[in-house]
Amino acid sequence: MSQKSRAEIRQGVHSRIRKKVRGTAARPRLAVYRSVNHIYAQIIDDGSGKTLASASTTEKTLGIKSGGNVEGAKGVGKAIAERAKKAGIESVVFDRGGYVYHGRVKALIDATREAGLNKHEADSKPAKEEKQKTDE
């Protein structure tokens, strides 16, 4: 029996996430894809199967020199949030694509919140952070 590669494991995790996460016209899905050198984000309405907005570090217009770092992910997050607002989208469902919510994926999603997407999530802090503050 052969062992699964890291990519095959991620695909399995992603398929389990996709069973639960669905984008609608009112609240589309923000899908993240991360490669070694770049990061990509798309806002998708799963009901119609259409991409409403997209951004990636491969775009020359964003002026991001390297897409394989946290700064590049923040730039993509800000760009996708601006494009979503221009398309009339205020709230999205985050699809981390099977990746761990850490590093570049976390930076991209946090940047979208700071740029005004999902305002209700930006105001409330996760319970883990609040617990740490009360322990101090």
Domain boundaries defined on the chain: 6-135
**Adjacent-strand bridge partners of 43:** 30, 53
Q: How far apart are CA 96 and CA 106, in angstroms?
A: 9
Residue 19, pLDDT score? 74
* Placement of tokens 């490669």 in the chain: 35
Nearest to 92 by CA among 79, 72, 109, 70: 109
pTM for this prediction: 0.78
Looking at this protein, which amino acid is placed at residue 40? Y
Q: How far apart are CA 22 and CA 30, in angstroms?
A: 10
Residue 132, pLDDT score? 61
Residue 1, pLDDT score? 64
As averages over each run of 10 residues, the pLDDT of the chain (136 residues) reads 84 79 83 92 91 92 86 93 92 88 93 88 60 61
Residue 127, pLDDT score? 56
Of 3.30.365.10, 3.30.530.20, 3.30.420.100, 3.40.50.920, the CATH number of 6-135 is 3.30.420.100
Cite the DSSP H helix spans in the chain. Answer: 6-20, 70-86, 104-114, 119-123, 127-135
